[in-house]
Amino acid sequence: MRYFGNNILPGGTLILSSANSVGLVGNMAVDMVLQSLNCATIGVLESKYLVPLSGINKSGNGLNSALEVYTVSNVDSNYTFLLHRTPTIPRKAHLFCTELRDWIIKQKFSRVIVLSSAVLEGDKELLDKRTRVLKVSAASSLSPYVSSDFLEHADVPTGSGVLRLLKELDWEGIDVVSLIIYAGTNDYITSAKRLADQVSNTFFNGLPVIVPVELMKVFGNGGYTKELFG
């Protein structure tokens, strides 16, 4: 994995999504938080294990790539964000996770928050809308998640993408947890908004979360949603 951009990253906390999780909920949640915090791109990561992407960004003055690095604009922040725009190449997810872990260790992040989704399987998950918290590394600390809004999850749920692979890795003392939300087929944007709200309430003093217009144009349309997710 090669990094192109600002070589002086703030360290501290990295927030990213679990690649390949159901409905792209984690990806959308990260995107919503980025919009709300007025974050700016500071670099890109290149991985041969992700489906490649290159296209003009929404402002028309740059390119989007498969894996982009952001931080909060004009603020001394200990938060860095990683936005996945494409899934992993089939049968290469474990290699992607390993090189991602190696990059995170190299950048000296002390805490990693992985935003993920899971398949809504029954009434229990439908009725209990609390965000699940999963320990991903041996050094995981659940102290920020002790409120009634969170429920500790013992196992990696179905549909959470590469989360199981991340949990199997040795994180060398880094505090890694996953915030997971159960999402139904017609509920992906709402679920992403709930997850983004939870991140905002926990780490950013409840800053109002903005839903990007481009997400509403695509994922908010029933026809597109049916074609994309079945």
Quote the strand ranges of 47-174, DSSP E: 54-56, 63-65, 67-72, 79-84, 109-119, 131-135, 150-152
pLDDT band (50, 70, 90) for residue 48: very high
pTM score, whole prediction: 0.89
Tell me the per-residue pLDDT of 139-188, one tens digit each, with 9 for 90 and over. Answer: 998 988 988 889 998 899 999 999 999 999 999 999 999 999 998 877 89
CA 127, distance to chain mean position in Å, is 24
Instruction: Give the DSSP H or E segment for 163.
Output: helix 163-167
* Contact in structure between 180 and 166 (CB atoms under 8 Å): no
Tell me the per-residue pLDDT of 91-103, one tens digit each, with 9 for 90 and over. Answer: 999 999 999 999 9
Q: State yes or no: pLDDT of 221 exceeds 70.
A: no
The widest CA-to-CA distance across the chain, in whole angstroms, is 47
Q: State yes or no: pLDDT of 229 exceeds 80.
A: no
Tell me the per-residue pLDDT of 60-82, one tens digit each, with 9 for 90 and over. Answer: 455 567 899 998 876 667 899 99
- The CB density around residue 219, as the number of other CB atoms within 10 Å, is 20
CA 200, distance to chain mean position in Å, is 13
